[in-house]
Structure 1
């Protein structure tokens, strides 16, 4: 006797929704470059994007200011920015998040799940030349996900296949710079551009040169078709060399702290200097390993 068993239909595996990239917008005039950079990247990777805006805690509001009006104005501003981004990238999934409180706390609280945080560079007072706040530095120091700091001014938005500036990475032979090199090679491969590795010789040139060359061999094996150049600069400090070669590049990749850092819980002096005045969009590699890229082949500008 043959027994027919009911047909078992295989259930399609659940698709894990990608977590959105985060971009902080303090005001449209200064942070629009960061928003545009983040939107372009998210659209290229077919990833969602969340625009975050924070308004001060009610206890910090000056007397006579209506907190309700501040909330309404903040919500209207971030909604207008979301509409502008959606108009430019119709297929991009854009969300908004209005936070009542400190913007650094908001970003760090969401950094555990976000694949990347994008912020504008900290602003200078035009009269005194002093920096007003330290949002970018604080987020880069404490975030558990990579942080990109975008300078003010016209930012080049790379298109797949272009090679105007490429990706630049600083390598000093440390384990942190190894992670930075790995991430930089991945970024250069992602947008089909070149990779420039910069080593500025310091107190231990032999150790740094040997360590960097070993790392480059690993990159060659993993990305055989990637155009890689190695610059050893013995005339400039690491910060000066990276600022020079990073200017005009698509992306500068640096570790949170290099071989000379006093503590793993502090920013290295080179990283701190570059984040105050980044020469181009600058990615700080943090503790978390790079995550698989969302979507398929990266697309050009929508």
Structure 2
């Protein structure tokens, strides 16, 4: 078993920022959601043979005084910090059985800001989709949506409905009812990645292939083509949708040939669907290990850091979701050698 260490006051550099953790960073807050994220992160750290850094963050509430003298009053910092340290120790104890090196720290500050700062040096960030509200919380509010949109490294969000597949339990009646409705169909050893012809999607495909290879899973490349929206009302004549889908299939096949050249031993398959990308990916998430998306694709404006498809999948997925930020990858350079590129002019 690896080293288990807790650092309530981590080393800081001259600027006062947390020391670089490296490896996999997971945010915890003591909630069931945080516990699911913790277990998933520990398993991933063990698979990757990377250290796990557990972090919890807290802010000291400030209240406006209503007395004659006015001003502001703050809650005792030590009480809140002791609670945060207890949450952290519980998390360290929970992963003690994994063969990984563990480091842990309590940070004073906004959870989003703390985790985004750590993303600059982390290999992967992991959070639950909802927490207590004070630490790594708020259902896709500030933390779970801010991380995928702005993090410098890939981010995984783990929904509470995954508790049973991770060997966890929850008292959340809504989640338990949803789990019962879903039944006990075995989870397929499959990683699904959504593509739309954008450069961001190709970066996500490469990351998904690496993850599938790491866990010994099949990679399923999913391309869903939505119906025309009102924004295409200017099209002068009806487009032949059957011909369009056939053209996309040719380009998708070329993309699969390119991917196979970089991952020759990886089992992979492609699926072209007629319909909503969000619906297709959410449906796929019900019984697969992981869904992978880019931060944004062709549907978003340049300034939209988290596209509508990625955001929709994060809100409704039934499996962990890996969001891959846009970045350079030298393997993209030879894509054109394998045939027409999906969505290219």
Q: What range describes the TM-score normalised by the shorter chain of this pair?
A: 0.7 to 0.9
Task: Report the alpha carbon displacement of residue 101 of structure 1 after superposing the two structures with TM.
Answer: 1.2
Aligned equivalent of 1:33: 36
1:274 aligns with 2:316: no
Task: Report the alpha carbon displacement of residue 24 of structure 1 after superposing the two structures with TM.
Answer: 0.6
Supply the distance in 1 between the matched residues of 2:319 and 2:21 (Cα, whole angstroms): 27
Aligned equivalent of 2:199: 175
Task: Report the alpha carbon displacement of residue 212 of structure 1 after superposing the two structures with TM.
Answer: 2.7
The 5 Å alignment of 1:122-133 reads 122=130, 131=139, 133=141
Deviations 1:69-116 (A, max 9, x none): 110111121012112211x21x31111121111000001111111001
Aligned equivalent of 1:23: 26
Aligned equivalent of 1:114: 122
Supply the distance in 1 between the matched residues of 2:200 and 2:216 (Cα, whole angstroms): 24
Supply the distance in 1 between the matched residues of 2:140 and 2:221 (Cα, whole angstroms): 32
Deviations 1:113-137 (A, max 9, x none): 1001001113699xxxx94733111
Supply the distance in 2 between the matched residues of 1:124 and 1:262 (Cα, whole angstroms): 33
Aligned equivalent of 2:111: 103
The equivalent position to 1:255 in structure 2, one of 277, 287, 294, is 294
Alignment CA distance shift 1:276-1:247 (3 Å):
same
Any gaps of 5 or more consecutive residues in structure 2? 1-19, 65-71, 167-185, 229-243, 330-345
Comparing 109-118 with 211-220, greater Cα deviation is found at 211-220
- 1:225 is paired with a residue of what secondary structure? coil
Alignment CA distance shift 1:31-1:210 (3 Å):
same
Task: Report the number of matched residues.
Answer: 264
The equivalent position to 2:220 in structure 1, one of 183, 190, 196, is 196
The 5 Å alignment of 1:57-76 reads 57-59=60-62, 65-76=75-86
Deviations 1:190-248 (A, max 9, x none): 111111111111356466444432221112222223221211111x3000000111212
Q: Once superposed, which parts of structure 1, at least 4 consecutive aligned residues long, lie more than 6 Å away?
A: none
On the 8 A contact 1:25/1:35 being kept in 2, the answer is yes
Give the TM-score taking structure 1 as reference length. Answer: 0.79
The equivalent position to 2:87 in structure 1, one of 55, 59, 77, is 77
Aligned equivalent of 2:323: 284
Deviations 1:153-184 (A, max 9, x none): 32646xxxx98331001011111111111111
The equivalent position to 2:159 in structure 1, one of 129, 141, 151, is 151
The equivalent position to 1:239 in structure 2, one of 278, 302, 317, is 278
The equivalent position to 1:185 in structure 2, one of 189, 199, 209, is 209
Supply the distance in 1 between the matched residues of 2:323 and 2:285 (Cα, whole angstroms): 14
Any gaps of 5 or more consecutive residues in structure 1? 1-16, 291-302
On the 8 A contact 2:187/2:288 being kept in 1, the answer is no
Supply the distance in 2 between the matched residues of 1:52 and 1:60 (Cα, whole angstroms): 26
Alignment CA distance shift 1:205-1:133 (3 Å):
same
On the 8 A contact 2:124/2:155 being kept in 1, the answer is yes
